[in-house]
Structure 1
């Protein structure tokens, strides 16, 4: 199993500085197993909450040689159709870059979100959760209240 870690982004929080490390895992798993594997590694399936984070993931995927691969994120609407949240936090999306005409829940069976390249840039897309693909883990956030 190959994987690459790239330090890609410093995020300033209120009185707290946290760095997100993205690890691109180049083993193809379904969404549920990818989520579980990130947890096993002490990480979490990636959340993309800003343009800067998406750009950082893009840079990490290029550095890992996976720029043209589809990759799982923590986005899902499994709990409620068309209400996408980050599984790690339960929070709704505050930033999106959906592919054209997405999400579409094709054949009433697309409930997990991945990133794919469209016109040279990474975009969000919903897809069936059993599909196997690479995935992006990130460090768990630091609790700044401690």
Structure 2
């Protein structure tokens, strides 16, 4: 661009400056008019154009040189102004940077202080967080315990409600019972009054009855003595009879078959012996004889029954007995030997001693 400014102008070229619409209509103008138009438009603002008369005498090179010098001065002034403005701008930038640096240092110090405070707060918050975490865990544990306790208390509450309901029902029952008892008490009080009156009468009668009682007691003593004497007589077995417990036993001196032996006992107001206990079995065995007992299966074979019709429960048979030898042994005898196994079955027609039994009366 600077080369274009300082280049030597070509004066042979025709230049036309359009000032108005009237000049556009005059396209073919002479060289003198063209030069005049060029010179009129070449002067910059603020310069005084030369007179028309002088232009006719000065050369075009001189005019252009003066114009170029004027433009150079203007460019120098513009460059100086631009440099001044640039320096002012740089100064402003430096001032701004210095201010920003000072503010930045102040801000940095503030930020460092804030950072230290934040670090301190962070440490405190971290410690507080640890404490809160521990408290939270404790609260969780407490919550679990409280929840369990609440469940237990709820169950206890339900039990207490049920108990309260039951107690309320019991209370109502007791109220009803109390009302009934009050009524009964009133009746009893009335009865008590009547009974007191009756008791007075009974007391008098009691005195009389006590006298009668004393008299009767004396008579009772005499009667007791008489009873004891009679019992002594009754509890004594007849002659040749053996006493065991409250029973008397007779061992026959003669022999007979089972049927005749049964009849003989009945004639003595007795029966063939019925052994109903182990003690009685031992006693009969101690008599030391072989004799008929009141046990048979003549009509109920193979079921053995006593003469009173009861089925035998406890037995003391010898080994391999009863064997019903020859299908003819249907009556039982007791023999000597061990008491636990001394029963034997025999033909009912055999002649054997017998034992009668009767109860003391």
TM-score (ref. length: structure 2): 0.32
Conservation of the 8 A alpha-carbon contact between 1:72 and 1:114:
yes
Map of 1:78 onto structure 2: 298
Conservation of the 8 A alpha-carbon contact between 2:329 and 2:345:
yes
The answer to whether residue 350 in structure 2 is matched with residue 109 in structure 1 is no
> 1:81, 1:100 → 2: CA distance?
20
How has the CA–CA distance of structure 1 residues 28 and 138 changed in structure 2, closer, same or farther, with 3 Å as cutoff? Answer: same
How far off is 1:58 after superposition?
A: 2.3
Conservation of the 8 A alpha-carbon contact between 2:285 and 2:334:
no
RMSD over aligned CA atoms reads: 1.8
Identify the match of residue 268 of structure 2 among 41, 53, 63.
41
The answer to whether residue 292 in structure 2 is matched with residue 96 in structure 1 is no
Conservation of the 8 A alpha-carbon contact between 1:44 and 1:137:
yes
How far off is 1:4 after superposition?
A: 3.2
Conservation of the 8 A alpha-carbon contact between 2:273 and 2:293:
yes
Map of 2:35 onto structure 1: none
Name structure 1 gaps, 5 residues minimum: 11-18, 62-66
Deviations 1:37-74 (A, max 9, x none): 00001111101121111112123x1xxxxx1x310011
Name structure 2 gaps, 5 residues minimum: 1-238
> 1:134, 1:79 → 2: CA distance?
22
Map of 1:5 onto structure 2: 241
> 1:140, 1:108 → 2: CA distance?
35
- Secondary structure, in 3 states, of the residue corresponding to 2:336? strand
Tell me which structure has the larger Cα radius of gyration.
2
Conservation of the 8 A alpha-carbon contact between 1:4 and 1:25:
no
> 2:315, 2:332 → 1: CA distance?
11
TM-score (ref. length: structure 1): 0.77
How far off is 1:140 after superposition?
A: 4.7
Conservation of the 8 A alpha-carbon contact between 2:271 and 2:358:
yes
How has the CA–CA distance of structure 1 residues 126 and 141 changed in structure 2, closer, same or farther, with 3 Å as cutoff? Answer: farther
Conservation of the 8 A alpha-carbon contact between 2:273 and 2:356:
yes
Higher relative contact order structure (alpha carbons within 8 Å, sequence separation ≥ 6):
1
The structure where helix makes up a greater share of residues is: 2
- Secondary structure, in 3 states, of the residue corresponding to 2:283? helix
Conservation of the 8 A alpha-carbon contact between 1:115 and 1:123:
yes
Q: Say how many residue pairs are matched.
A: 122
Post-superposition, which runs of at least 4 consecutive aligned residues in structure 1 deviate over 4 A? none
